[in-house]
Chain A
Amino acid sequence: DTTVKQNPRYKLARVGKPVNLICSQTMNHDTMYWYQKKPNQAPKLLLFYYDKILNREADTFEKFQSSRPNNSFCSLYIGSAGLEYSAMYLCASSRSGAGAEQFFGPGTRLTVL
C-alpha cells in the first residue's frame, strides 16, 4: 500500500483560531514532509521529520509546528490562522536519504475566513 492519507480533506477556520492537520502513512517511511501549495504556485516545503528529528524552513519557522507521535503519523499545527494561510497543505513521505521518491497525500484544503 503506497497510500498517504490526510485528514480532513477540507478545513474551514476562523482568523486567529488554531488549525491541526493530520497525515498518516503505512509504508514505514522514516521521513515525512509538509508542503503548502497556493494556486499557480510551486509546492513550498514547510518542514520535514526524519525519524523524530524536526527540520523547519527558516522563513516559516515560527508559523508552523508539527509533531510525530509515531512513525506513521505526522501533524501540522497552526497556532493562530491568518488569511494568508489559506492554501492546500500536502503531506508526503519517503525513505530516508537524498533523492528518495516522495509519496504524496491528496492534500487538505484550508480556507481561513
Chain B
Amino acid sequence: GEKVEQHESTLSVREGDSAVINCTYTDTASSYFPWYKQEAGKSLHFVIDIRSNVDRKQSQRLIVLLDKKAKRFSLHITATQPEDSAIYFCAADASSGSWQLIFGSGTQLTVMP
C-alpha cells in the first residue's frame, strides 16, 4: 500500500525567509496530495492541496509543487511569519480516487523572529 515519508521532522527558519517541507510517496496511482497544519494545542486543519493533473499550485504565501516522476511533493512557505510556526503534515490518497489519506509523520516548523 501507499507510504508517505516526510523528510524533515524539524525545521527552523528566520522570519521573512522561505521554508520548504518535502514529502515522497510510493504509489504512482495516488492523485491527491493535501497538506494539514496543526498549531500548538489545536486541531489539524487543511491548508492547501494539489492534484496530479497539475504540478504547481499557489495560495497566497503557500506553494505546492508536485513531481510525479520522482513521486515527490513539497510545501513552500514564502515570507514566513511567526504564526506559521506549527506542525505540518503531508498526505496522499491511498490510491487514485480513494477516500483514505495516508499521512506523513509531520514537520515541526519554527519561525524565529
Q: Spell out A's residues near B (CB within 8 Å).
A: 4, 31, 40-45, 48, 50, 90, 92, 94, 96-107
Q: Assess the B101–A4 pair: CB atoms within 8 A.
A: no
Contact of B103 among A31, A43, A96, A107 (CB under 8 A): A43
Q: Assess the B101–A102 pair: CB atoms within 8 A.
A: yes
The 7 A-B residue pairs with the shortest CB-CB distance in the complex, in nearest-first order? A42-B103, A104-B44, A99-B32, A104-B43, A42-B105, A101-B46, A98-B97
Q: Assess the B106–A98 pair: CB atoms within 8 A.
A: no
Chain B contributes a number of interface residues (CB within 8 A of A) equal to 27
A-B contact count (CB 8 A): 59
Q: Assess the B43–A97 pair: CB atoms within 8 A.
A: no
Instruction: Annotate B35-55 by CB proximity to A: 1 below 8 A, 0 otherwise.
Output: 010000011111001010000
Which of chain A's residues have a CB closer than 8 A to the CB of B49? 99, 101
Q: Assess the A101–B89 pair: CB atoms within 8 A.
A: no
With both beta carbons as reference points, the residue of chain B lying nearest to A91 in the complex is identified as B43
Which of chain A's residues have a CB closer than 8 A to the CB of B97? 98
Which of chain B's residues have a CB closer than 8 A to the CB of A44? 103
25 contacts between A and B (CB under 8 A): A4-B43, A40-B106, A41-B105, A42-B103, A42-B105, A43-B44, A43-B89, A45-B100, A48-B99, A90-B43, A92-B44, A96-B99, A97-B99, A98-B32, A98-B96, A98-B97, A99-B31, A99-B49, A99-B51, A99-B93, A101-B49, A103-B46, A104-B44, A105-B43, A107-B43
